[in-house]
Amino acid sequence: MYDLKALYQAGTVAEAVALRLAHPEAHIIAGGSDVLVQMREGKRAGVELISIQGLDELRGVSMEADGTLRIGSLTSFSHITRDPLIRKHLNVLGEAVDQVGGPQIRNIGTIGGNTCNGVTSADSASTLFAYDAIVELTGPDGVRRQPIGEFYIKAGKVDLREGEIQTAILIPKDSYERTFGHYIKYAMRNAMDIATLGTSVNVRLSADKKTVERARVAFGVAGPVPLRAETAEQAAAGQPVSLQLAETFAQAVKADINPRDSWRAAKDFRMHIAVESAKRAFLESVKLAGGVL
């Protein structure tokens, strides 16, 4: 069933880096929810694997001294959804990853695997883009931190360099403080399906809750990699909260997205979904932030 050449087990991050250098063609495996399925389908015949499943130091959510939220790359989706720090400061990420696959997948699938795949449909990716996430990578030259927008290079390819593994996802305090968000996944089924389009919006309101200080919107499957719609963000910044602003914000996303035609959905349909979901997610985010519409 699984055409496997070799399996190497890393006991520490340093061992994982050494194994990556010694076996540059080997694939990293953690939860295995993607890699094992691809192997079973024959897409990775004769592959070498490096398992980092045992690296418990890469699990869990914590807060660094400067308020940065640190999410270990081996943290499973189900743990992210239930984590107290996520629920308090970044509940929208918990919402997003709670829509990945089914319960079994969410129990074994990891945030690191979801992002390192480089696919635009990853349910975590649009929210991470919308919150200016930073990817932590550890390799032979030490630790490197990179904005997530630079980590995604093209469809299915991320900036993992020789010997590197992803060790964490970081959310700066300035990106989540006083900020409330909502994620909408549109798919052909309510569960166990890949997103036809994913939309993540968050807003920060003024003290009197009447003005949008800052808005963010990011999409999955609106281009070859997840992306931000900065034209819409600029259109909302500094504007009074209103239903008309929600409409203006939503229409403005069309300037920055470029969905494709596929068997799942036509480009025009994805564009329509993007506008409607941006509007709905914006309105819900404003309500969560205490705004009145």
CATH number at residue 133: 3.30.465.10
Tens place of pLDDT for every residue, the chain, 293 residues? Answer: 677 888 999 999 999 999 999 999 998 998 777 777 777 777 777 788 999 999 999 999 999 999 999 999 999 999 999 999 999 999 999 999 999 988 888 988 999 999 999 999 999 999 999 999 999 999 999 999 999 999 999 999 999 999 999 999 999 999 999 999 999 999 887 777 788 999 999 999 999 999 999 999 999 999 999 999 999 999 999 999 999 999 999 999 999 999 988 888 899 999 999 999 999 999 999 999 999 98
Residue 35 and residue 62 in one domain:
no
Domains in the chain, number: 3
Q: What is the CATH number of the domain that holds 26?
A: 3.30.43.10
**Strands laid side by side in the 61-63 sheet:** 61-63, 69-72, 165-171, 134-139, 142-147
Residue 183 and residue 104 in one domain:
no
Output the six-digit token pair for 274: 């993007």
Query: Cα separation of 106 and 122, whole Å?
Result: 13
Residue 112 and residue 167 in one domain:
yes
Task: Please check whether residue 293 lies inside any domain of the structure.
Answer: no
Residue 208 and residue 277 in one domain:
yes
Instruction: Write down the pLDDT at residue 1.
Output: 61
Query: Cα separation of 283 and 289, whole Å?
Result: 10
Structural domain boundaries, residue 101 = 58-174
Instruction: Write down the pLDDT at residue 34.
Output: 73
Instruction: Write down the pLDDT at residue 219.
Output: 98
Residue 46 and residue 96 in one domain:
no
Query: Cα separation of 58 and 28, whole Å?
Result: 14
Query: Cα separation of 280 and 245, whole Å?
Result: 12
